[in-house]
Amino acid sequence: MVAAMKGREGYVDFRGYRTWYRFVGDLNSPATPLLALHGGPGSTHNYFAPLERLGGERPIVLYDQIGCGNSDRPQDLEWSVAVFREEVAAVRDQLGLERIHLLGTSWGGMLALEHVLSGARGIVGLTLSSTLASIALWNEEQWRLRAALPPDVIAVLDRHEQAGTYSDPEYDEAMEAYFDRHFYRGPTPRPELEAMAQGRAPDVYHAMQGPNEWTTTGALTGWDVRDRLHEIDVPTLVLRGRYDMCTEVIGNGIEGAREVVFEESSHTPVLEETERYLEVVGAFSREAEAQSP
């Protein structure tokens, strides 16, 4: 069993609120730090805990996006992609992260794409893990995965979605069938996921995404960067699980990107196939750094 590494925790200022961060590894290391962007929107950093094991090689920086986890939860922000894109820049600026490896999973991958496409500099390598470039295509694929669920589960989903009773416990239970197939397929209970569940922000998720993964009604409606992927000119690694919500069809299509599929995983290979995930991310980071001027 690998012992947890000691980390430094604190806050950066963002729009007058506090964004919590955790920094693991040698502050004086010559190796380029890895900055990880969690999913959601409104989830937390907790499922990234295994990434801290890479802290012996390079600094690892995790943070809870504003509105969830250990960060402040403002009630007067109009949630938008721009808010979170601006927050990434604030974290980098205040922590002095001039050069980074950038890793984003799911919504965090969308945010990573936004950051790179905004013209951000100092990106040594980009890892897009179980993510997407088009919310409409994502919705289509989630409908397809939903249609393959057991008929009795679909009936419950249909009934509550037609009634708009998304908060009904019966609906939550039916959703678990989808998540058990396509979000996390490993042993339970899993402390990282339990901590994430406690710290997540459903209000942020609803404002940004909507009531579920196949129905986008929030600020992400219409989000699509597929026609800009050709602008990405940094070494890129694309990761997904064989049973992922991020299906093969959703693949990002970045020219020259390297793709790795985790055969025993769904949406959280960092937890489902941890050893291989760390090996792949670590090797890619070293290779990208060696090629960087």
Question: Mind telling me the catalytic residues?
Answer: 106, 244, 267
CA distance 142 to 5: 37
> In the chain, what are the helix, strand and coil shares in percent, each to the nearest 5?
40, 20, 40
Q: Is 78 exposed, middle or buried (0-12, 13-18, 19+ CB in 10 A)?
A: exposed
Buried b (16+ CB within 10 A) or exposed e, 20-31: bbbbbbeeeeee
DSSP secondary structure of 135-203: HHHHHHHHHHHHHTS-HHHHHHHHHHHHHT-TT-HHHHHHHHHHHHHHT--S-S--HHHHHHHHH--HH
β 7-14/236-241 pair status:
unpaired
CA distance 251 to 234: 17
Q: Which of 196, 4, 222 is nearest to 105 (CA)?
A: 196
